[in-house]
């Protein structure tokens, strides 16, 4: 596996977008902090941050069952209702792996601030599409530790497919290698 390490400069506040191409998907990522490792998986370790003070509750699996942009069973709802260490999966009856379904956003999704959140579309066919937005990112991860996003096609956002802020640490974007 090939890795490219980007060495940060002390005064860097914002790096330009990294484009990761895999199949049809183009995933744009903007990093605003301290380190990047690129391979077939993206592992970003950005500085050191404290644990998010969000209430934890019991970790659960949330199943996205609806491809519309809002309401119960949607990705937006799942993100808004997730707690520490939750996993968001996609129902394969709705999001068939052989016939991917597109979630077209009409506004930005909630910013991910939940430690340990996993968003996993690897067993389903999920396309996150931002072509209706005039500004904004697909997924924004801020001040969260240990977030994993995998198995999604993220396309056509006016800004970045995924934006990772400096307070986000131990963030994995892309496929995991076994």
* Domain spans of the chain, in order of start: 4-47+59-174
List Cα–Cα distances, 96 to 6, 9, 74, 79, 89, in angstroms.
37, 43, 16, 21, 13
- What are the start-end ranges of the H helices in 36-166? 75-80
Rounded CA-CA distance 45/172 in Å is 9
pLDDT tens for the chain, residues 1 to 178:
333 333 333 322 233 233 333 333 344 444 433 333 222 233 233 222 222 334 456 889 999 999 999 999 999 999 999 999 999 999 999 999 999 999 999 999 999 999 999 999 999 999 999 999 999 999 999 999 999 999 999 999 999 999 999 899 999 998 765 5
Contact 161, 153 (CB under 8 A): no
Beta strands in the chain (DSSP E): 4-6, 18-22, 25-31, 36-38, 41-44, 61-64, 87-90, 101-104, 118-120, 126-129, 139-141, 148-150, 152-155, 162-164, 171-174
Name the residue among 117, 109, 168, 111 with its Cα closest to residue 144.
168
Number of H helices, E strands in the chain: 1, 15
Within 10 angstroms of residue 101's Cβ, the number of other Cβ atoms is 15
């Amino acid at each position: 596996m090939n890795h490219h390490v980007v060495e940060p400069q002390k005064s860097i506040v914002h790096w330009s977008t990294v484009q990761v191409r895999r199949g049809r998907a183009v995933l744009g990522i903007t990093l605003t902090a301290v380190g990047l490792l690129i391979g077939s998986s993206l592992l970003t370790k950005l500085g050191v941050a404290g644990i998010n003070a969000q209430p934890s509750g019991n970790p659960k699996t949330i199943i996205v069952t609806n491809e519309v942009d809002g309401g119960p069973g949607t990705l937006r709802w799942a993100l808004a209702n997730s707690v520490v260490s939750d996993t968001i999966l996609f129902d394969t009856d709705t999001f068939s792996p052989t016939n991917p379904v597109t979630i077209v956003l009409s506004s930005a999704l909630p910013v991910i601030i939940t430690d340990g959140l996993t968003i996993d579309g690897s067993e389903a066919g999920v396309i996150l599409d931002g072509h209706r937005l005039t500004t904004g990112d697909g997924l924004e991860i801020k001040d969260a530790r240990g977030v994993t996003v995998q198995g999604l096609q993220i396309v056509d956002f006016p800004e970045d497919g995924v934006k990772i802020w400096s307070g986000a640490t131990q963030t994995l974007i892309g496929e995991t290698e076994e």
